[in-house]
Amino acid sequence: MSDTIRRPDTDGPTAPVVDLDKERAVRLAPLPDLPADPAGELPLVPDWTRTAGGRTAARRRAARRAKRAGRRWISRQRTDRGHAAQIGRGMRRTHEWVVGFHGVHVQAAAHQAHTATQDARAAARRARYTFMPGQREKARQAADLAQTQAMAAVQAHEQARKKVRRGRIGRGAVAYGTPLLVDTVALVEFGGVGLAGGVFATLSVAAWIGRKPLTAETWDPERRSLGDGDRLDEPMLNRAFLDAKILTQGQELTLRSPVAMDGTDAYVARIQLPGAVTVDKVRAREVELAAALGIDRAQLDLRQAGGEGDLILWASMRDPFARTVRSPLLDRREPLNTWRDGIPLAFDKRGQIVTVTISDYSLLFGGATRSGKGMGVANVLAGALLDPRVNVRLFDGKGTGEYVPYAPVLATFVRRNPARLRDFLRVMVGEMNRRTEILVELGLSKLSEDLIDKVGGIELVVVDELATYTAPEGPSKEYAEEIVEYLAQLAAVGAAVGIVLVLATQYPEVAIVPSRLRGNCSGRMAMRTENADASNTILGKGMAGNGFDSSKIANSKGTRGRGWLTTPDTGMIAARSLFIDESSGENRTVIAIGTELRRAAGTLPGHGTDPVEDALLRYTGASSVAGGRNGNGGIVRGTVLDHLVTAAGNRGSLTSSEAFTVLARVSPDRYARTEGESDAAWASRAGKALKAQLAALGVDLDTSKVTGPDGGRANGYTLAALQQAAEDARNARV
């Protein structure tokens, strides 16, 4: 675990209270923008660099740069850019210069002298053996001419040789004599140290002469990159933008302010892009730009500051997601306004807390096993529990004990029960319609904060492991289609009336999360997935191709909770969920605080009216408030009296025929009217069945005259009589 995680302060009222706004402000402080300078320009030396922390950071950077320079020097020695290779090359080049190319002239002159001499000899021989009186004279003249030419050629050769020798001696004297002289003088003047210095200087000059290899090569030791610990500067930025094909040859960016460090080991540069290059274009090539700077994409953040070409580039020297950030809610003791402030869910590259606005959209989490979906849900739950106006209803498809500690604060909690989810969603869609009608009457299209109490609070429906419920070929296939339909309807319009879904799945496949359902959840987070298709199932078609691919997140402990998050507020961003350490009971602290806040507000499950659970009880005859009797996610079937009490609750009484209709829904085999059965026959049969059930409960309940729904008087039961009978039944059980 990272050292950035602080232990929670779990103890009671003396524990410090953390204001979420302040907390967020502190986290935002490092640098959404460069600090303003009173002089109008951005400061060359930010204040923080003059603090002890700033100096330590500077020392650390200098040490890192020195280390990297050393490493680069060593690896360079093995290549032909190494110093030995440079010196050898320098000496060779010097020698070639001393020898020069003039030797070619000497050779050509030698060749000419040689042929001219041969010609002269042949001409002399011919003159000697020509006896014809007219020819002899001619031959003698030709021999004289050839001899003259031969002598001239030999002389030219001699001169060329002398000239070359003179040139070589001169150049040799410069090339070899100078260092020899310098070294000798140094030796004479300063002894061995002087000689060593002289030799060093000589070799340095040779290395300088041979600094460039003859052939082009791929590794360029002059290349500066952030990944190697070099400073971010304008030449590096220009080269990286060029390499990333954002700029073309001849285009140059300009810095609007000096490159600064932001106190988190990251560089910030405000850049003016040239011509028609926009910030969007730069963002589209984020991966290439990061590669050109020698860092990972997660270490680079690109934001538009002002106009189209006004870019703020933030480049971190380390992976911003390598650390964990603890949820600020863990230190909170007072209620959270989730409707207005949202719920802190994750942190982004620059350490800013990302909140999700449950007043606006539903959420979908997807990712492979152990990728951190549960932590995403835990963050949302932590926020919801701190807002007593939120009724949390949780359907756990995994069926493990993960959510059992939350049971006392869950208005509804059911483990692995697809039929129950189907029934619940039916009721919830009815609730959505009821709320919509209230808004229609008020002439509103969306719930506002002042109406939350009027409509019955915010409904947060969590379904963890969708596959249990929506797999068309799974064990719950008979419910799957209906469940998907209801979920899609709720996700589409629920948020506007205060009904929000939080869905999670380990199997991000289209069969489990149909695109209609995905599309209606505007907040989506894809943690590490097995493949690009799975990532697209959460984030949307083609997203992996656009560079947002969760399957590229490495599978390691350090990447848990990392993913791509998209919400209408943030757009697509890289993020890591906030950390709640369940192993040390941090979630239990939130649950305890949530329980207290709910008790104070009178919204603790089972302690007030809950129209949704009441409707479910009427409809199914079973209750799932707070995870049932043991809080482990089971459902509790009520007695006939419980159902009748719930049904009589609205009007204060119930006619017999209304009572039989309610019971027919709960227990159709006993109370449902059969084909062709008359009213009287049904009433008599159902009356007997009820009497028998009441007898089994140990109570006797007589009918009395009550007011029916139409205002007329009929046989039935008053609420008071039913409540008394239910009480007697409980006492009889005890």
Ligand X SMILES: Nc1ncnc2c1ncn2[C@@H]1O[C@H](COP(=O)(O)OP(=O)(O)OP(=O)(O)O)[C@@H](O)[C@H]1O
Going by the annotation, the residues of the binding site are 367-374
Q: How far apart are CA 124 and CA 111, in angstroms?
A: 20
Residue 587 in the binding site for ligand X (CB under 6 A): no
Residue 506 in the binding site for ligand X (CB under 6 A): yes
Among 561, 563, 633, 716, binds ligand X (CB under 6 A): 561
Residue 371 in the binding site for ligand X (CB under 6 A): yes
Indicate the residue among 241 and 321 with the shorter CB distance to ligand X. 321
Q: How far apart are CA 225 and CA 246, in angstroms?
A: 17
Q: How far apart are CA 155 and CA 112, in angstroms?
A: 11
Query: What is the torsional sign of CA 708, 713, 717, 721?
Result: positive
Residue 354 in the binding site for ligand X (CB under 6 A): no
Task: Work out how close the CB of 731 gets to ligand X at its nearest, in angstroms, rounded to a whole number.
Answer: 44
Residue 370 in the binding site for ligand X (CB under 6 A): yes
- H/E stretch holding 255 reads strand 254-255
Bridge partners of 575? Answer: 348, 563
Task: Work out how close the CB of 503 gets to ligand X at its nearest, in angstroms, rounded to a whole number.
Answer: 13
Report the binding-site residues for ATP: 367-374
Residue 577 in the binding site for ligand X (CB under 6 A): yes
- Kindly write out the interface string for residues 692-711 of this chain, putting x where it contacts ligand X by CB under 6 A and - elsewhere: --------------------
Instruction: Select the span of 14-22, 364-372, 449-457, 603-611 touching ligand X (CB under 6 A).
Output: 364-372
Task: Work out how close the CB of 715 gets to ligand X at its nearest, in angstroms, rounded to a whole number.
Answer: 55
Q: How far apart are the first and last CA of the chain?
A: 51
Indicate the residue among 389 and 576 with the shorter CB distance to ligand X. 576
Residue 579 in the binding site for ligand X (CB under 6 A): yes
Task: Work out how close the CB of 369 gets to ligand X at its nearest, in angstroms, rounded to a whole number.
Answer: 4
Among 350, 524, 560, 598, binds ligand X (CB under 6 A): 560
| Secondary structure of residue 258 in the 3-state scheme | coil
Indicate the residue among 577 and 603 with the shorter CB distance to ligand X. 577
Place of tokens 């008020």: 442
Instruction: Select the span of 41-49, 372-380, 487-495, 711-719 touching ligand X (CB under 6 A).
Output: 372-380
Indicate the residue among 377 and 729 with the shorter CB distance to ligand X. 377
Indicate the residue among 113 and 377 with the shorter CB distance to ligand X. 377
Among 86, 149, 316, 324, binds ligand X (CB under 6 A): 324
Residue nearest to ligand X (CB): 561
- Give the DSSP per-residue string, 680-731: HHHHHHHHHHHHHHHHHHT-----EEEE-TTS-EEEEEEHHHHHHHHHHHHH
- Kindly write out the interface string for residues 278-317 of this chain, putting x where it contacts ligand X by CB under 6 A and - elsewhere: ----------------------------------------
Place of tokens 């089971």: 634
Instruction: Select the span of 199-207, 370-378, 482-490, 663-671 touching ligand X (CB under 6 A).
Output: 370-378
Amino acid at 51: T
Please count the other Cβ atoms lying within 10 Å of the Cβ belonging to residue 387: 26
Q: Report residue 376: phi and psi, to 5°.
A: -60, -50
**Per-residue 3-state assignment (H helix, E strand, C coil) for 593-658:** HHHHHHHHHCCCCCCCCCHHHHHHHHHHCEECHHHCCCCCCCCEECCHHHHHHHHHCCCCEEEHHH
Task: Work out how close the CB of 406 gets to ligand X at its nearest, in angstroms, rounded to a whole number.
Answer: 14
Strand order in the sheet with 571-577: 353-356, 343-348, 571-577, 562-567, 523-527, 363-366, 499-505, 458-464, 390-396, 412-415
Among 271, 375, 490, 525, binds ligand X (CB under 6 A): 375
- Looking only at residues 640 through 659 of this chain, which bind ligand X when binding is defined by CB under 6 A? none
Indicate the residue among 350 and 422 with the shorter CB distance to ligand X. 350
| CA distances in angstroms from 513 to 71, 310, 464, 529, 535, listed in the order given | 51, 40, 13, 14, 12
Among 157, 373, 416, 420, binds ligand X (CB under 6 A): 373
DSSP state at residue 259: -
Q: Which residues contact 272 (CB under 8 A, 6 or more apart)?
A: 253, 254, 255, 256, 309, 310, 311
Residue 369 in the binding site for ligand X (CB under 6 A): yes
Residue 374 in the binding site for ligand X (CB under 6 A): yes
Strand order in the sheet with 713-718: 653-655, 713-718, 704-707
Instruction: Select the span of 48-56, 236-244, 467-475, 576-584 touching ligand X (CB under 6 A).
Output: 576-584
Q: How far apart are CA 595 and CA 597, in angstroms?
A: 6
Instruction: Select the span of 26-34, 84-92, 119-127, 366-374 touching ligand X (CB under 6 A).
Output: 366-374
Indicate the residue among 584 and 693 with the shorter CB distance to ligand X. 584
Residue 338 in the binding site for ligand X (CB under 6 A): no
Indicate the residue among 367 and 383 with the shorter CB distance to ligand X. 367
Query: What is the torsional sign of CA 109, 111, 112, 113?
Result: positive
Task: Work out how close the CB of 576 gets to ligand X at its nearest, in angstroms, rounded to a whole number.
Answer: 5
Pairing outcome for strands 363-366 and 412-415: unpaired
Residue 559 in the binding site for ligand X (CB under 6 A): no
Task: Work out how close the CB of 506 gets to ligand X at its nearest, in angstroms, rounded to a whole number.
Answer: 5
Counting residues that bind ligand X (by CB under 6 A) gives: 15
Q: Report residue 638: phi and psi, to 5°.
A: -85, 165
Q: How far apart are CA 725 and CA 694, in angstroms?
A: 9
Indicate the residue among 150 and 345 with the shorter CB distance to ligand X. 345
* Contact set with ligand X (CB under 6 A): 324, 367, 369-375, 506, 560-561, 576-577, 579
